């Protein structure tokens, strides 16, 4: 692993430690304590530990550029090591989630990321649901992975996607592969509103069953729109009210409630539109 005179960041694969060896004369050692549950890992100077002997002689060479050496691939590690890696990856991911997203992940295993280009559900590999707010009946399934897919814990992949969606959503959507184009799309709704309503209701019930209340709210709002087209205004209003309550309350659990509500305004407008049409139909 060592290749003098470069400085090497050496991660000892899955024994719970790693070493950062500096080429600054051989007297300074950094030991990485990766013990799970011990808090943030740190490199400590001059505290060489463990059974490994010092392998670098003391010299007076100047510092050279540092280099990172990746540990053994995730898939080749022992199950204990993979579990430890998963715990670390999940802890990092959770530090980037707001309270609402964390609750979603704990309840249903997935969480939604709201962007300028709509909202994307992360947490189910190869099946990232993307909803365009302009039309809640317009859904599509995306597939995005990291370049080291399968060689890192899945939590790390979600972190990479989450950060990309938050900072550069356009680049996220530009690389995404559309797995199943517009499953419940507007064209289908026009062709067969009854079939569309049945699909949406099935998805809504399934989401509720799995504790995915926000999924159910999105499905309910789309269903309300379809039911209104079928002139079933009472059912549409009940669905829209239920969905709007969930979406509005979810804003309180986000880091930026105003932005959340602004992004969801087209969805919330469906409720007022359905209410107006329901009132007109009763008069």
Interacting residue ranges for another protein, rule: CB under 8 A? 7, 9, 11, 13-14, 18, 20, 22, 24, 32, 34, 40-43, 63, 65-68, 70-74, 77, 81, 84-89, 91-92, 95-98, 126, 143-149, 151-153, 155-156, 159-161, 163-164, 166-168, 171-172, 175-177, 179, 255
* Residue closest to 86 by CA, chosen among 97, 96, 75: 75
Of the pair 52, 82, the CB lying nearest another protein is at: 82
Q: Nearer to another protein by C-beta: 1 or 73?
A: 73
Give the total residue count for the chain.
283
As measured in angstroms, the least distance from the Cβ of 208 to another protein is: 28
Q: Minimum Å distance from CB 214 to another protein?
A: 18
Least distance between another protein and beta carbon 221 (Å): 26
Nearest distance from C-beta of residue 274 to another protein, angstroms = 35
Nearest distance in Å: CB 160, another protein: 4
> Is residue 188 a contact partner of residue 195, using CB atoms and an 8 Å limit?
yes
SS (H, E, C) 13-69: CCCCEEEEECCCCCCCEEEEECCCCCCCCCEEECCCCCCCCCCCCCCCCCCCCEEEE
Q: Are 9 and 69 in contact (CB under 8 A)?
A: yes
Identity of the residue, 160 or 200, whose beta carbon is nearer to another protein in the bound complex: 160
Shortest distance, CB of residue 272 to another protein, whole angstroms?
32
Closer of 65 and 282 to another protein (Cβ): 65
Least CB distance to another protein at residue 102 (A): 10
224, 226, 231, 233: CA torsion to nearest 10: 0
Structure tokens at 172: 């996220």
Contact residues for 87 (Cβ-Cβ < 8 A; gap 6+): 36
Please tell me the distance from the alpha carbon of residue 155 to that of residue 265, in angstroms, as a whole number. 31
CB nearer to another protein: pick between 167 and 272: 167
Which CB sits closer to another protein, 151 or 188?
151
- Contact between 36 and 88 under an 8 Å Cβ cutoff? The reply is yes
C-beta closer to another protein: residue 157 or 199: 157
Q: What is the phi/psi pair of residue 261, to 5°?
A: -65, -35
């Amino acid at each position: 692993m060592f290749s003098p005179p470069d400085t090497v960041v050496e991660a000892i694969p899955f024994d719970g430690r790693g070493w950062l060896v500096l080429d600054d004369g051989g007297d300074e050692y950094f030991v990485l304590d990766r013990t799970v549950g011990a808090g943030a890992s740190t490199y400590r100077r001059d505290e060489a530990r463990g059974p490994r002997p010092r392998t670098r002689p003391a010299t007076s060479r100047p510092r050279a550029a540092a280099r990172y050496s990746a540990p053994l691939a995730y898939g080749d590690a022992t199950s204990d090591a993979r579990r430890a890696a998963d715990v670390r990856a999940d802890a990092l991911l959770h530090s980037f989630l707001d309270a609402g997203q964390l609750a979603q992940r704990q309840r249903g295993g997935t969480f939604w990321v709201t962007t300028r280009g709509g909202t994307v559900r992360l947490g189910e590999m190869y099946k990232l649901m993307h909803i365009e707010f302009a039309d809640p009946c317009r859904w599509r399934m995306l597939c995005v992975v990291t370049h080291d897919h399968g060689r890192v814990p899945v939590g790390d992949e979600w972190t990479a996607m989450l950060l990309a969606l938050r900072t550069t959503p356009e680049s996220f959507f530009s690389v995404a592969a559309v797995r199943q184009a517009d499953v419940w799309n507007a064209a289908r709704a026009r062709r067969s509103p009854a079939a569309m309503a049945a699909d949406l209701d099935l998805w809504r019930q399934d989401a509720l069953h799995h504790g995915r209340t926000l999924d159910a709210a999105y499905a309910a709002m789309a269903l309300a729109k379809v039911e209104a087209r079928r002139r079933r205004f009472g059912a549409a209003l009940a669905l829209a009210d239920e969905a709007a309550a969930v979406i509005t309350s979810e804003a309180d659990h986000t880091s930026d409630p105003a932005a959340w509500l602004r992004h969801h305004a087209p969805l919330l407008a469906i409720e007022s539109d359905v209410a107006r049409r329901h009132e007109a139909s009763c008069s």
